[in-house]
Every structure is written in structure tokens, then in C-alpha cells.
A = this chain, B = another copy of it.
Amino acid sequence: MKQGLLLFAHGARDPRWSLPFEDVARRVAEREPTLNVQLAFLEFMTPGLAEAGQTLVADGCERVDVVPLFLGAGGHVRKDLPLLLDALRAAHPRVQWQLQRAIGEVDSVVEAMALAAAALLRTA
């Protein structure tokens, strides 16, 4: 079964804002060569979730995991994203769309941030 991954980030006006997210997408793609990895944005940047999801469907993905690249899970993750995902499900009912936890709720990511914050104090 062909699988896709949608990495969903907020977006911003500053084009440099997306660099860490592009970096995450590139690293996952290198690690998982059979996976089609797409980055999508809520606002200010393109593609949006619908367009990136369409790309994965056109590539033949039968299952798509959606991972919010958000540190905190507030309205964007709990309300906006499920609505966008419902629209994708309605448009492509044969594809299995699986919403995952926000990346900031993953213990290893929290630990990496704590270690990085402590390390920054020593390198400045």
C-alpha cells in the first residue's frame, strides 16, 4: 500500500519561517524513501492541506498520515485541522486519512527542546 505523509505547519509571511519545516520534511523523506512526504500550511504559505493532499492522492497514496508540526495544540490543531481533514476525507473517501498527535506532544521532541535550551546557555 502506497503511503503518504502530510506535515502540517502554521505558515507565516516571512519566507525564512518555513526553513525548519522543510528541513523536517527532507529528513523524513531521506529516512523513508518509499514514503511520499508533503509539507502543507494553514495560512500565508502554500500549498494548503487540500492541495498537498490532492498531490498525494494523484500519486496513488492509499493511506495518508497527517502530522501537525505545532508545539502546542490549540485551536489550529484541535479545530481548524480536523475541519480541513474532513474536507479531504469527503473529497477522497477511498483514501485512509489518519490524524496524528502534534509533534510538540511527543516526549522525545519535548526532551530535545529541553536539552537544546540548556545547551544554548553554554554556547552563547
Taking Cβ atoms with an 8 Å cutoff, the residues of A that contact B are 3, 5, 7, 9-10, 12-14, 16-21, 23-24, 27-28, 31-32, 35, 65, 67, 69-75, 78, 98, 100-106, 108-118, 120-121, 124
Measured CA separation A17–B78 after assembly (Å): 10
B residues less than 8 Å from A101 (CB atoms): 120
In the complex, 16 of the A-B residue pairs with CB atoms within 8 angstroms, ordered by the A residue number, are A3-B121, A5-B117, A14-B74, A16-B72, A17-B74, A18-B72, A21-B72, A24-B110, A24-B114, A27-B111, A100-B120, A103-B116, A103-B117, A109-B116, A112-B112, A112-B113
Residue contact B110 to A27, C-beta cutoff 8 Å: yes
**Nearest CB of chain B from residue A50's CB, rounded to whole Å:** 20
**Nearest CB of chain B from residue A113's CB, rounded to whole Å:** 5
Measured CA separation A110–B74 after assembly (Å): 21
